[in-house]
């Protein structure tokens, strides 16, 4: 079979990204234009601003990704785009761009679920081994997914309330550190120690998770100390939050690995950039004698290479979309 070059577009939140991915695994070029500095001024992503900025940036990103690849559009086999879930106005910019490229250059269009993208980031420069257990930890999701083959997603556990990334962001806000919260809380925690007692979550044996109790405990602790006129040791509190949150994830991953016989543990989503979580998951996989895959840092947070990787199995199955493809702000993968 001829080599397949997929031009992929990701614009579901505050990154405008395009990539050209060969045969679902090899990233020929990737461009990520982040709006992080702008949204940091507001303490979080402002949807209206995000979509405007995608509109301003997207053609420049296209020029750059093609230039860096040394490929012309005629070499491209298909156009892939994130169509769900995410911020609607942001998704629409990517979807419209993909439809125009598909129409003008007469290329098939592939609609990709953002979460499939995060999981398939583990196929870049690598090959996922089925059956596998995927831990998806992002700003909107915390899921345990059993995969017995390509695009065979069986959710076996999920958060019953907040996503882990969302909690990192809220804890960051209450500790007064800037957006994006996750990496900044992680940095604070490096200088901290176990000096605050926070509640354990979901002390059951199900594979579901819950983070809202932990989040509320951190927020209440900060407010109570402020009311008493006491200072908070931000490093210690960040450390204790991270310790408890990731301890909970670790416990549930271990339970899932007892229940399901898998060859590999894959970690996916923005929070997989967290070094503490990465180390813990490596240890877990080692204890169960299974493979571990965690994407390279640049493929952990939102990027188009993962969309190109996730589009490849759909390309092989001729699962193409029509030009009436629309964006969806919410959509389950499973
Ligand atoms: O996957 P992602 O880029 O976007 C979504 O699809 O949601 O994930 C973003 C989330 C944010 O909540 C961010 O704070 C968190 O990932 N995050 C981290 C780290 N880097 C990003 N959380 C903890 N530690 C990090 N190093
Ligand atoms: Zn994401």
Q: Where are the domains of the chain?
A: 5-121+299-316, 129-295
333 pLDDT more than 90: no
Q: Give the fold, CATH level 3, of 129-295.
A: Nucleotidyltransferase; domain 5 (3.30.420)
What is the CA(168)–ligand 1 centre distance, in A?
Answer: 8
> How many angstroms separate the most distant Cα atoms in the chain?
70
Phi/psi of residue 318, each to 5°?
55, 35
Report DSSP state, residue 158.
E
- Ligand that lies nearest to the alpha carbon of residue 165, given by its number in the listed order: 1
pLDDT at 334: 65
Please indicate whether the domains covering 5-121+299-316 and 129-295 agree at the CATH topology level: yes
Instruction: Find out whether 90 and 51 touch, Cβ atoms under 8 Å.
Output: yes
The string of pLDDT tens digits covering residues 212-250 is 999 999 999 999 999 999 999 999 999 999 999 999 999
pLDDT at 178: 84
pTM of the model: 0.96
Cα–Cα distances in Å, from 318 out to 135, 315, 327? 28, 5, 20
Determine the Cα–Cα distance for residues 187 and 294; give it in Å rounded to an integer: 20
Binding site membership of 308 for ligand 1 (Cβ less than 6 Å):
no
Ligand 1: nearest atom to the Cα of 180: 14
Binding site membership of 295 for ligand 1 (Cβ less than 6 Å):
no
Instruction: Find out whether 53 and 296 touch, Cβ atoms under 8 Å.
Output: no
CATH number corresponding to 5-121+299-316: 3.30.420.40
The string of pLDDT tens digits covering residues 290-317 is 999 999 999 999 999 999 999 999 999 9
If DSSP codes are grouped into helix, strand and coil, which group holds residue 141?
A: coil
Q: Which two tokens stand for residue 188?
A: 């604070």
- State which H helix or E strand residue 134 sits in: strand 132-137
The string of pLDDT tens digits covering residues 52-90 is 999 999 999 999 999 999 999 999 999 999 999 999 999
What is the CA(200)–ligand 2 centre distance, in A?
Answer: 27
- From 271, 298, 303, 329, the mutation candidate for ligand 1 (largest count of ligand atoms within 8 A of CB) is 271
């Amino acid at each position: 079979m001829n080599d397949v070059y997929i031009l992929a577009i990701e614009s579901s939140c505050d990154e405008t990204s395009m990539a050209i991915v060969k045969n679902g695994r090899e990233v020929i070029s990737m461009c990520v234009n982040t709006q992080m500095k702008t949204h940091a001024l507001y303490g979080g992503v402002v949807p209206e601003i995000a979509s405007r900025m995608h509109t301003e940036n997207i053609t420049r990103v296209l020029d750059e990704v093609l230039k860096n690849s040394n490929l012309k559009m005629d070499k491209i086999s298909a156009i892939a785009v994130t169509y769900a879930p995410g911020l609607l106005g942001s998704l629409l910019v990517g979807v419209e761009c993909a439809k125009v490229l598909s129409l003008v250059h007469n290329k098939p269009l592939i609609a990709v679920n953002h979460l499939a993208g995060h999981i398939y980031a583990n196929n870049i420069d690598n090959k996922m081994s089925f059956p596998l257990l995927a831990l998806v930890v992002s700003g909107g999701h915390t899921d345990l997914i059993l995969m017995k083959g390509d695009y065979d997603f069986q959710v076996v556990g999920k958060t019953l309330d907040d996503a882990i990334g969302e909690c990192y962001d809220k804890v960051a806000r209450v500790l007064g550190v800037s957006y994006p919260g996750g990496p900044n809380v992680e940095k604070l925690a490096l200088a901290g120690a176990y000096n605050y007692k926070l509640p354990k979550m979901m002390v059951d044996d199900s594979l579901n998770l819950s983070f809202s109790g932990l989040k509320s405990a951190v927020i209440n602790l900060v407010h109570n100390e402020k009311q008493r006129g006491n200072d908070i040791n931000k490093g210690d509190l960040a450390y204790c939050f991270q310790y408890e949150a990731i301890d909970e994830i670790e416990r549930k991953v271990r339970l899932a690995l007892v229940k399901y016989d898998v060859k590999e543990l894959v970690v996916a989503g923005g929070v997989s950039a967290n070094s503490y979580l990465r180390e813990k998951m490596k240890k877990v996989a080692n204890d169960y004698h299974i493979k571990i895959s965690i994407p390279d840092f640049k493929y952990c947070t939102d990027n188009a290479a993962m969309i190109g990787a996730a589009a490849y199995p759909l390309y092989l199955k001729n699962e193409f979309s029509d030009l009436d493809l629309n964006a969806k702000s919410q959509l389950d993968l499973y």
